[in-house]
Amino acid sequence: MIKVSNLTKTFQSGDNVVTAVHNVSFEVPAGQFASIIGKSGSGKSTLLSLLGALDQPTDGSIEIAGHDIARLGERALVRYRREKIGFVFQGYNLIPNLTALENVMLPQSFGRANSHSGKTRAMELLDQVGITGDKQLRKPGRLSGGEQQRVAIARALANRPALILADEPTGNLDSETGKMIFDLLHKLSRSQETTIIVVTHDLSIAGKTDKSFHLQDGKLISKK
């Protein structure tokens, strides 16, 4: 259960104060697949980084499983990101020097996971997202965009997060691959009981999600 109340984020840009997110409130029940849509500059990426505890809000609260993450300290935020959140980025953001398998094992190594079980889990996850065999031992540079995004999704799932935040996960992919990635996310939200929030400007994707929020100029103008 995610509950966002009166969330506001302002930036100082020169002499102007830019309000990227303005008094946004919404709820997403656990295990649902939600989308946030809006044009570029509408504040959707800022909203996502607030949800992912990458940035702190100017005002308002974000309650996840009863905890207000807007009030957490630096250490607790790191722990929250590690244990409760999985990120999927538009640009995949895999570590280029590590193999697909090592990339998936990475978030577990930040915690106290034992390396053997971590490896087993990473291989299972890669199998689930369709990266099999020797592709697991390739470095990101030798995988296609769609494959890299699958690895990124497997990495996001590694620590069994409560929430997966995906920022334009299909933005760099052709429509066919994008649809496959979207279907994968959809399937995972069902099978892993994970809440997924996707930021996108692709209305065809937004139409298929359980919930959809439309942002414009930092304000929530419609909910579905």
Partner 1 sequence: MLIAHQAVGRKIDDVKQSVGNTITITPAGFSDFSQANNALTGSSLSKVTSLAHVSSLSENLTDRVTTIGSATPEFGKFGSNASSTNNTTSLTSPITINADGSGNGGSMRVFIRDGGSLPANFSLPISVLGTTTPLNVEGGTITLSSGALIDGAKDTNSALVSADMATKNNLKVGSTFTAYGATLTVAGIFTSSTKTGGNTIVVALPTIQRLTNQPDIITSATATVDSLDNLSSTTDAVKSTLGSNADVQSSQSEADNAVQPLQNVASISLFSLIGAVIAGSAIILLTMIMIVRERRREIGILKAIGASNTRVVLQFMSEAITLTVAGAIIGILIGVAGGNPVTNLLVTSSTQSAATVNTPTKATTFGGSFGTAGPRAAFGSRPAGGFLSRNGTSLKNSVTNITTNIGWSILAYGLAAALAIAIIGSACAGWMIARVKPYEVMRAE
Chain contacts with partner 1 (rule: CB under 8 A): 45-46, 49, 52, 54-55, 75, 78-79, 81-83, 85-87, 89-91, 93, 95-96, 106-107, 110-111, 155-156, 159, 167
Tokens coding 46: 């800022």
- Name residue 91's beta-bridge partners: none
Q: How far is the CB of 87 from partner 1 (least distance, A)?
A: 5
Cα–Cα dist 205/120, whole Å: 32
Q: How far is the CB of 155 from partner 1 (least distance, A)?
A: 7
Q: How far is the CB of 210 from partner 1 (least distance, A)?
A: 25
CB 149 within 8 A of CB 181: yes
Q: How far is the CB of 56 from partner 1 (least distance, A)?
A: 9
Angle made by CA atoms 16, 8, 182, in degrees to the nearest 5? 110
**Closer CB to partner 1, residue 44 or residue 135?**
44
**Closer CB to partner 1, residue 131 or residue 158?**
158
**Closer CB to partner 1, residue 39 or residue 190?**
39
CB burial of residue 74 (10 Å; 0-12, 13-18, 19+): exposed
